[in-house]
Amino acid sequence: MKKGNNLLLGISTSTRAKLSTQGYLEALNRMSDYQTMYELIYELGSEKKISNTEGLLLASLFGARSKDIDIDVINLKDVFRSTKISKQELTKKLDRCSGIILGTPVYFGDRSSWFEKLIEHIRTNKIDTKNKIFGMVTAGAKRNGGQETTLVFGLLDALNLGFNVVGNGPPTSQFGGTGWAGDIGKIQDDNFGIDTSMGVGKRVKRYFEIISSKAASKKKLTIGILYSGFNKKGDIRIQDLILNIQKSGVETKLIDIDRLKIKPCLACAKCPHTLETDYGCIIKDDMSEIRELFGGINGLILISRKGNDKIGKYQLFLERTRFIRRSNFIMSDVPFGVYSIEDKLTGSQLSTRIFMSFLRHNVFVVSPLVQSIYDGSNTVHIGHIDELCCNLIKIASKTKSEISKSKSRYTYKSIGYGNT
């Protein structure tokens, strides 16, 4: 491994895995450009020399290739089914890596059981996951064969383990690589799945670029805080969040979503995707405050409460962020944190919903997801707000010299979901 380089670990959970670590590296060396990447995956897939999952994992690793990134690969089949690779070696690889791209087949809308074994291994061996990045690719038998639920469940597990997570980035900017293999396995025919998987690699590479950069800007960091569902601005949970950020010498900008006059989205499809500085929506209301905030922050935390007595305007606000996404992904590369407070009886899964929605804005979702769940008599706390603030500020300190570059890096495109 080259000194100063980030190490990316590709992990396959495929039971049909055929490539060795050396096989992956040799295949990547044969990929000189996009065309040869497609051609090689087609060749290997047609000759049944790779599984569906391996084809997508190869595409993602190709997307991540850089002179500043070293790549290693491991098949969990070789750890948990045979003794080709010891669990001690798996621990070493997990300890050394700076990030992971994991590939898994879909099993009824969920992931491989070897993913569960990996989670158990990471927890049992107390692997340090702090500030490491995690992305996923997955192959299903149908176009809508459970790929997205598989990705969401896996990314949630990664966040709970302490990883930060990425999706697949523009143009679709969803949860990860979504491959359509067909009942008999023909991942090489699914260019869309290959493209979205390659996008995961590009997002991981971008994360490495940012955390490895030297923040040249002397400008003070600013963290945006959006909140909804609270009866008053002075709520102790909001104040605690502010204090945790400001004690690091970081400025905060607050917006109470509930006080804004927000109208529903018209679905007019007129949102501009070429204008970078204009407001960008034909509806003239208080969403202009949100647009202004998003254009001038280094990180963002959304704290929302959903109880039986207070709903708030979060869902209405979320609906209107469509024009934010379509304005060339102006939230790109911003570290994003989630803090939810909810009554258990609402069954809203609020933190999961917030994480899923904002990942599509091309942000880096920062661990942990912080949740406070009230069951009528006791409050269960999941995650620590001070840990979230610390992790988010650390990444934000890097993005402040890079974020301006992100503004012109991405272009929104209206794209369909055909198998092309």
Helix axes 191-211, 34-46, angle to 10 degrees: 130
Instruction: Quote the CA–CA distance of 70 and 174 in Å, as a whole number.
Output: 26
Based on the domain organization, do 148 and 237 belong to the same domain?
A: no
Based on the domain organization, do 189 and 287 belong to the same domain?
A: no
Asked if pLDDT for residue 419 goes beyond 60, the answer is no
Q: What is the DSSP string of 280-349?
A: --SS-STHHHHHHHHTS-SEEEEEEEE-SS---SHHHHHHHTHHHHHTT-TTTT-EEEEEEEEEGGG---
Which of the four pLDDT bands, split at 50, 70 and 90, describes residue 229? confident
Which of the four pLDDT bands, split at 50, 70 and 90, describes residue 330? confident
Q: Annotate 185-205 with three-state secondary structure.
A: CCHHHCHHHHHHHHHHHHHHH
Based on the domain organization, do 229 and 185 belong to the same domain?
A: no
pLDDT digits (tens, 9 = 90+) for 83-127: 888 999 999 999 999 999 999 999 999 999 999 999 999 999 999
Which of the four pLDDT bands, split at 50, 70 and 90, describes residue 166? very high
Instruction: Quote the CA–CA distance of 173 and 184 in Å, as a whole number.
Output: 28
pLDDT of the residue at 140: 93
The whole-angstrom distance between residue 271's C-alpha and the CA centroid of its chain comes to: 24
Average pLDDT over the chain, rounded to an integer:
86
Instruction: Evaluate whether residue 252 is within a structural domain.
Output: yes
Based on the domain organization, do 231 and 373 belong to the same domain?
A: yes
Whether residue 170 has a cis bond before it, omega within 30° of 0: no
CA distances from 256 to 228, 232, 261, 312, 356 (A): 6, 9, 11, 10, 21
pTM equals 0.92
- Domain total of the chain: 2
Range picked from 231-240, 265-274, 294-303 for highest mean pLDDT: 294-303
Based on the domain organization, do 25 and 102 belong to the same domain?
A: yes
pLDDT of the residue at 329: 86
Instruction: Evaluate whether residue 334 is within a structural domain.
Output: yes
Among 159, 178, 211, which residue terminates a domain? 211
For residue 155, the domain's CATH number is 3.40.50.360
Based on the domain organization, do 296 and 164 belong to the same domain?
A: no
For residues 332 and 295, is the Cβ–Cβ distance under 8 A? no
Q: Are strands 379-382 and 370-374 parallel, antiparallel or unpaired?
A: antiparallel
* DSSP 8-state class, residue 263: P
Based on the domain organization, do 182 and 268 belong to the same domain?
A: no
Please give the structure tokens belonging to residue 327.
């304005």
Instruction: Evaluate whether residue 79 is within a structural domain.
Output: yes
Instruction: Evaluate whether residue 216 is within a structural domain.
Output: no
Instruction: Evaluate whether residue 412 is within a structural domain.
Output: no
Whether residue 171 has a cis bond before it, omega within 30° of 0: yes
